[in-house]
Amino acid sequence: MLHERVVLVTGATGVLGRVVVARFAAAGARLGLVGTHLDRLTEVARDLGLDADRWAPGTADLRDDGEARAAVKSVADRLGRVDVVLHLVGGWTGGTAVVDLDPAELRTMLDQHLWTTLNIIQATVPAMIAAGWGRIAAVGSRPALEAVPKSAAYAVAKTAEDTLLRTVAREVAGTGVTANLVTVGTIDEKHERESAPTLKNATWTTPEEIAAAFLFLCSDEAAAMNGARLPLDHKG
């Protein structure tokens, strides 16, 4: 299914990134690991036992389009191409009512979610279209679909990312490339939903569940899914 596909993972050094990298490596993929620090990327590869010829680093601040393109080129030069992009760059800023919102807070969230997504798409999608096959997947957010008090900066940025990706999906339709989102509420990094269940964490999503959803969306069997929001927040 993903044997020898080149999967570029942004945010690869985070908890979710490590789980995703491990799952895709086990599926036979080669990995392009993208982050801001080479030593951390190397640590992930070492901890997960990735052979030197099975992965390549791409060091970049993805808020900068030049650095994003350079990171993608570095991975493609080492591994031959990029077939899949899993965009896991995250971050949350909130707790402020709209009337008190500092514009800098909104700019930070837009940089983190919208601009990183735009830059990585522009750096990878043209080659995917030319190759006739590609997969793009990102983590969507419940606040992007439902207004949540004192989360405007984050919600606006995630909504912008959602709209961008779903627009890309329409633009690549019929090319063999797809773009989808896996929508979650809170990522349950410590597996509290299982170890200490409460009404609050009952809707949380584990990194392993997200990784499994990504594996499906990147498969040939999911070729008909394009522009979808795959909900993983356990809400009815």
Of 95-99, 123-127, 139-143, the range with the lowest mean pLDDT is 139-143
Name the more confident of 167 and 235: 167
Q: Is residue 190 part of a domain?
A: yes
Q: Is residue 236 part of a domain?
A: no
Could you read off the pLDDT of 154-210 as tens digits, one per residue? 999 999 999 999 999 999 999 999 999 999 988 999 999 999 999 999 999 999 999
Specify the 3-state DSSP secondary structure of 195. Answer: helix
Q: Is residue 226 part of a domain?
A: yes
Q: Is residue 221 part of a domain?
A: yes
Angle at 86 between CA 81 and CA 91, to 5 degrees: 135
Q: Is residue 33 part of a domain?
A: yes
Q: Is residue 36 part of a domain?
A: yes
Distance CA 4, CA 7 (A): 9
Q: Is residue 99 part of a domain?
A: yes
Q: Judge whether residue 236 has pLDDT over 60.
A: no
Return the pLDDT at 88: 97
Distance CA 222, CA 8 (A): 18
CATH (domain of 78):
3.40.50.720
8 Å CB contact between 82 and 72: yes
SS (H, E, C) 125-168: HHHHHHHCCEEEEEEEEHHHCCCCCCCHHHHHHHHHHHHHHHHH
Q: Judge whether residue 91 has pLDDT over 90.
A: no
Mean pLDDT, residues 120-134 taken together: 98
Q: 55 pairs with which residues across the strands?
A: 31
* Owning domain of residue 175: 6-231
Q: Judge whether residue 235 has pLDDT over 70.
A: no
8 Å CB contact between 94 and 154: yes
Specify the number of domains making up the chain: 1
Q: Is residue 1 part of a domain?
A: no
